[in-house]
A and B are shown apart, each in its own frame.
Chain A
Amino acid sequence: MKTIHLEPLHETIVEFVSENGLNVRILPKKGFVKTSVSLQIGFGSIDVFVRNSNGDFKLPDGIAHFLEHMIFENTDKDISKSFTEIGASVNAYTTYNRTVYYFSTASPLEKGLNLLLETVFHPEFDSEQIEKERKIISSEIQMYEDDLEQSLYYDTMKLMYKHHPISSDIAGTKESIAQINETVLKTAFDVFYHPENALLVISGDVDTDFVKDLVNAKMSGINFGVHHQTSLLIEDEHQSIVSPRLSVKKDMMNSFVMIGIRLDLPFYTPSQGAIEEMKLLLLMDNFFSKSSEFYKTLQKQKAINNNFDFSVTVEPSFAHILFFAETKTPEKTASAIKSMILKIKTLKLDVERFVIQKRKIIGQFVQIFNSTSSASALVSEYALKNTRIDELIASIESFDIEEMTPLVELIQEDKIVEVIYHS
């Protein structure tokens, strides 16, 4: 067992690997009533290119999400009800890079933990259940069609990436999920649902030794094969953007604008990516935050309202920056954001702001550790990036403003896309 101390937050994270190779993190939170437990599988919607003993092949889009639905559908018992009976509430979600099963409880942890590990690692793929889930997921996909922000995001991804699966909807399409059957589910399960590709995080007022014994006892009772199968990175990605612009008329009161900057980063290791992502976020925040001159000017010109945001994503196989704005003047707003993006190469960073930004990020970390569920989500997310939170905080504190400047060179004019949903 390894104990990591987070200062000045006064938090500790205990790490160990259980019997059968499951990675475990415990966050003791004294005085909290709720214990949050999450089991994260390194299987997201982009992990569709895989390699096993049969060679390399592609899984249908939406497979990770479909599998997540199937895990909770058991012919013998209602999983959700089983958790309710022991005073816990359970749920799951799939993102582009992970599937997460989680529950929280104010009752003792043992039964829930056992049930979670049993359920996730012992699925059943009954053909009748598969048909039923297909219908439910189709309906879910249809519901997302009404979600304008989500479809704006995917339209932007489709302009930036020609082949990369990040441009496909997490749930897949009606056509892609039609290809999913028992064999496909079983193959995907065998490739990804192995303890070495999973992480268990427990956050709450728990005794670490007790939890360790519990996990070991449960895990040693489950049989796993040798894990020698992997998800493949998508190295043959089309190098340029697909198209710089898309404009669609929608039934809306205000228009939406999304600007995407595709970044050509070298194939980073996940932990390098986490640091680069943080630096890029600081850089963007320096010029585009709600305290910036840019924001003030655009609001004054009535070109944006309070619904303005940006995000940075750096992953081993792709990286981009996104801007979102709601506006009455989409053309003007889009061109203002784009010209500011190009202009930052010639601007100096605001030094005073840079100092404030670091305090802001440290403050945000403290806030996250105020809740067992947000703390465990943070730890899971960075575990996937192979990054320790204490090292990340130390890096942020030691960032020098000079390190930020070269990052602007990553922005290339011919890698910028814009999507407008006109009202």
Chain B
Amino acid sequence: MTIKTISLPGLTITCVSMEKFKTIGISLRIIGPFEQRSLNDRALLGSVLLGASKKYPNKQKLNRRLDYLYSTELQTSTQKVGLQSVVSFDMLLVNPKYVHHSEHLISDGLELLSDVLFRPNLRKGLFLKHLVKEEIRLLKEELEVTYHDKSEYAFHLFKNKMFSEEMFRFNPKGELESLQEVTSETLMNCYKEMMNSNQKEMYIIGDIDADEIIDIISNTFRFEEGLPQSRWLDDEIVKESEPQTYKEHGELSQSRITMGYRTNILSNHEDTEAMILFNILFGESDQAILFQTIRESHHLGYYVSSSYFGNKGVLFVFAGVAKGDEDQTILLIQDSLKQIQLHQLSEESLDLAKETLINRIKRSSDSLSSVIARHVMNMKLFNTPYNEEDKIEKILKVTLEDIFRVSHSLRLDTVHIYQNQGENHENNPS
């Protein structure tokens, strides 16, 4: 693997050459601050651009071209990373070596991306009104689907409670309540702001000739110099408070429990590896304490797990249990944490967690997107390229004492129960 980075005016290009891949990933990222005022515009802009360019006036024409280019994928998404908003255009192309008739596949792909980005189909300097309306409708219906997935919806309700005063409560994919405020004008302002003052980065990965690609890109993509962005962790300060419990109701058979803990250990903290290992031990796998306690010993529910978000310094526990079993489950989850805090954990289980994590890290080099993701985060947080050996060494150094220490950093903030309105199920005495 070789990495080559070059800074052009307004655009930083990073090429990662890895022979084993049969596809080439291209990712263009437009980075600005994550703010409530521009959230919906930034969520919609990508699909509006894909929806009508001068060359591809509708999505059918664009999809036809993508299919013609051997099923090239082109997706746009908006993410919140730390306190940054990242609008991405991700393209996945087949490496021309592996198909017939494909001489210009890479330059054709890059040209298509530049057509979409730089040459939108406008009327009187604005995005087409009917297209904007259509994209608002599609996004609205997409956001509404959250409601159909009971677990996802439970998490949405929970976030509104735990993070009621923080940016973390907002969905970077768009906010239903204020979506109708988006117009062709607000989108155009957002487009100009993104093109003129946001930071732009492009990543290309695969079995590629970096110089050749940099050459094509520097001729096809010309950006204005943007403002540098650097808030890659969500370190918004919140005031300490007593844990709160909320109950909300809907039509569902299994009750969903979500518990939120806060920690001061973020991704750049020296204890971050210990925290990741703690999470594996606590609730990430089916050997974890939560799974063993809730499902295996007490036969409660089908799933229980935890996730740690080092980007924000929070840890969530999710569980699905029969109605009536909620209180017992919540107590057992708290007991499970106490168990670790009281040093009830073996050296053997820590070794197992390390093995799991190291394996995961090694395997991530088989995925185009993971290779890019880990490189980018390492550069943003530590300003050095990602190094697998260093990472593994750090993991191996973590001791049980470290795990106990990080377990004490967790403070329960919010307990949320999403359950059916009706009576308890008859076979579950509470």
B362 at the interface (CB under 8 A from A): yes
Cα–Cα distance between A299 and B130 once the two chains are bound (Å): 12
Smallest Cβ distance from A324 to chain B, in angstroms?
13
Smallest Cβ distance from B154 to chain A, in angstroms?
11
A148 at the interface (CB under 8 A from B): yes
Number of interface residues of A (CB under 8 A): 65
Q: Knowing A143-B320, A254-B144, A360-B71, say if A30 contacts B367 (CB, 8 Å).
A: no
A342 at the interface (CB under 8 A from B): no
Quick one: which of A106, A254, A296 contacts B58, CB cutoff 8 A?
A: A296
Asked if B366 contacts A359 (CB within 8 A), the reply is no
Asked if B253 contacts A89 (CB within 8 A), the reply is no
What 13 new A-B contacts, CB under 8 Å, besides A106-B359, A364-B71, A366-B94? A9-B98, A80-B287, A106-B362, A139-B301, A143-B320, A146-B252, A252-B148, A253-B147, A291-B63, A359-B67, A363-B71, A363-B94, A370-B21
Asked if B302 contacts A139 (CB within 8 A), the reply is yes
- Return the 3 tightest CB-CB contacts between A and B, nearest first: A363-B70, A363-B71, A31-B20
Q: Knowing A8-B98, A146-B252, A253-B148, say if A105 contacts B20 (CB, 8 Å).
A: no
Number of interface residues of B (CB under 8 A): 60
Instruction: Name the residue on A nearest B349 (C-beta).
Output: A81
Chain B residue contacts of A253, Cβ below 8 A: 144-145, 147-148
Tell which of A19-27, A220-228, A300-308 binds the partner.
Answer: A300-308
Q: Knowing A145-B253, A353-B64, say if A360 contacts B70 (CB, 8 Å).
A: yes
Cα–Cα distance between A360 and B60 once the two chains are bound (Å): 15
Interface string of A249-274 (1 = CB under 8 A from B): 00111100000000000000000000
Chain B residue contacts of A370, Cβ below 8 A: 21-23, 368
Smallest Cβ distance from A356 to chain B, in angstroms?
5
Q: Jot down 30 A-B pairs with beta carbons below 8 A, ordered by A.
A: A33-B362, A33-B363, A33-B365, A34-B362, A34-B366, A81-B287, A81-B352, A84-B285, A84-B352, A104-B363, A105-B359, A106-B362, A132-B299, A135-B299, A136-B299, A139-B322, A140-B302, A252-B147, A252-B148, A254-B144, A290-B59, A291-B63, A292-B60, A305-B142, A359-B68, A364-B71, A366-B70, A366-B99, A367-B94, A369-B22
Cα–Cα distance between A145 and B89 once the two chains are bound (Å): 36
Contacting A at CB under 8 A, from B57-112, are 58-60, 63-64, 67-72, 92, 94-95, 97-100
Cα–Cα distance between A362 and B95 once the two chains are bound (Å): 12
Cα–Cα distance between A353 and B61 once the two chains are bound (Å): 11
Q: Knowing A8-B98, A143-B320, A364-B71, say if A356 contacts B20 (CB, 8 Å).
A: no
Smallest Cβ distance from A253 to chain B, in angstroms?
4
Contacting B at CB under 8 A, from A117-142, are 132, 135-136, 139-140, 142
Cα–Cα distance between A299 and B58 once the two chains are bound (Å): 12
Cα–Cα distance between A174 and B379 once the two chains are bound (Å): 52
Smallest Cβ distance from A248 to chain B, in angstroms?
13
Cα–Cα distance between A181 and B303 once the two chains are bound (Å): 25
Asked if B99 contacts A32 (CB within 8 A), the reply is no
Asked if A306 contacts B142 (CB within 8 A), the reply is yes
Asked if B363 contacts A34 (CB within 8 A), the reply is yes
Contacting B at CB under 8 A, from A365-406, are 366-367, 369-372
Quick one: which of B68, B145, B322 contacts A326, CB cutoff 8 A?
A: B145
Asked if A359 contacts B71 (CB within 8 A), the reply is yes
A10 at the interface (CB under 8 A from B): yes
Chain A residue contacts of B141, Cβ below 8 A: 254, 305-307, 326, 328
Chain B residue contacts of A302, Cβ below 8 A: 137
Contacting B at CB under 8 A, from A1-41, are 8-10, 29-34
Asked if A356 contacts B98 (CB within 8 A), the reply is no
Contacting A at CB under 8 A, from B112-137, are 134, 137
A229 at the interface (CB under 8 A from B): no
Asked if A366 contacts B98 (CB within 8 A), the reply is yes
Quick one: which of B19, B253, B286 contacts A146, CB cutoff 8 A?
A: B253
Asked if A142 contacts B322 (CB within 8 A), the reply is yes
Asked if B134 contacts A10 (CB within 8 A), the reply is no
Instruction: Name the residue on A nearest B64 (C-beta).
Output: A291
Asked if A33 contacts B366 (CB within 8 A), the reply is yes
Asked if A305 contacts B137 (CB within 8 A), the reply is yes
B251 at the interface (CB under 8 A from A): yes
Listed in ascending order, the chain B residues whose CB lies under 8 Å from chain A are 18-23, 58-60, 63-64, 67-72, 92, 94-95, 97-100, 134, 137-138, 141-142, 144-145, 147-148, 150, 250-254, 285-287, 295, 299, 301-303, 320, 322, 352, 355-356, 358-359, 362-363, 365-368
Cα–Cα distance between A296 and B247 once the two chains are bound (Å): 43
Chain B residue contacts of A60, Cβ below 8 A: none
Residue among B20, B23, B67, B303 with the highest chain A CB neighbour number at 10 A: B67
Q: Knowing A135-B299, A307-B142, say if A78 contacts B365 (CB, 8 Å).
A: no
Chain A residue contacts of B320, Cβ below 8 A: 143
Total contacts A-B at CB 8 Å: 160
Chain B residue contacts of A176, Cβ below 8 A: none
Quick one: which of A31, A84, A353, A367 contacts B355, CB cutoff 8 A?
A: A84
Chain A residue contacts of B69, Cβ below 8 A: 359, 363
Residue among B95, B100, B302, B358 with the highest chain A CB neighbour number at 10 A: B302
Contacting B at CB under 8 A, from A227-254, are 251-254
Chain B residue contacts of A81, Cβ below 8 A: 287, 352
Chain B residue contacts of A140, Cβ below 8 A: 302
A316 at the interface (CB under 8 A from B): no
Chain A residue contacts of B352, Cβ below 8 A: 81, 84-85
Cα–Cα distance between A295 and B134 once the two chains are bound (Å): 14
Chain A residue contacts of B68, Cβ below 8 A: 356, 359-360
Asked if B363 contacts A106 (CB within 8 A), the reply is yes
Chain B residue contacts of A344, Cβ below 8 A: none
Cα–Cα distance between A292 and B58 once the two chains are bound (Å): 11
Cα–Cα distance between A148 and B69 once the two chains are bound (Å): 35
Chain A residue contacts of B94, Cβ below 8 A: 363, 366-367
Instruction: Name the residue on B nearest A293 (C-beta).
Output: B60
Asked if B150 contacts A146 (CB within 8 A), the reply is yes
Quick one: which of A146, A353, A372 contacts B254, CB cutoff 8 A?
A: A146
Asked if B363 contacts A10 (CB within 8 A), the reply is no
Cα–Cα distance between A326 and B143 once the two chains are bound (Å): 12
Asked if A295 contacts B99 (CB within 8 A), the reply is no
Chain B residue contacts of A87, Cβ below 8 A: 355, 358-359
Q: Knowing A140-B302, A252-B148, A353-B64, say if A88 contacts B59 (CB, 8 Å).
A: no
A357 at the interface (CB under 8 A from B): yes
Chain A residue contacts of B150, Cβ below 8 A: 146
Chain B residue contacts of A361, Cβ below 8 A: 71
Chain A residue contacts of B285, Cβ below 8 A: 80, 84
Asked if A306 contacts B359 (CB within 8 A), the reply is no
Asked if A295 contacts B362 (CB within 8 A), the reply is no
Asked if A8 contacts B366 (CB within 8 A), the reply is no
Smallest Cβ distance from B90 to chain A, in angstroms?
14
Chain B residue contacts of A356, Cβ below 8 A: 64, 67-68
Q: Knowing A32-B20, A366-B22, say if A78 contacts B64 (CB, 8 Å).
A: no
Smallest Cβ distance from B338 to chain A, in angstroms?
23
A339 at the interface (CB under 8 A from B): no
Chain B residue contacts of A187, Cβ below 8 A: none
Instruction: Name the residue on B nearest A251 (C-beta).
Output: B251
Quick one: which of A9, A80, A104, A357 contacts B67, CB cutoff 8 A?
A: A357
A107 at the interface (CB under 8 A from B): yes
Contacting B at CB under 8 A, from A345-359, are 353, 356-357, 359
Quick one: which of A10, A106, A142, A148 contacts B253, CB cutoff 8 A?
A: A142
Cα–Cα distance between A289 and B66 once the two chains are bound (Å): 13
Q: Knowing A84-B355, A148-B148, say if A136 contacts B63 (CB, 8 Å).
A: no
Chain A residue contacts of B366, Cβ below 8 A: 32-34, 371-372
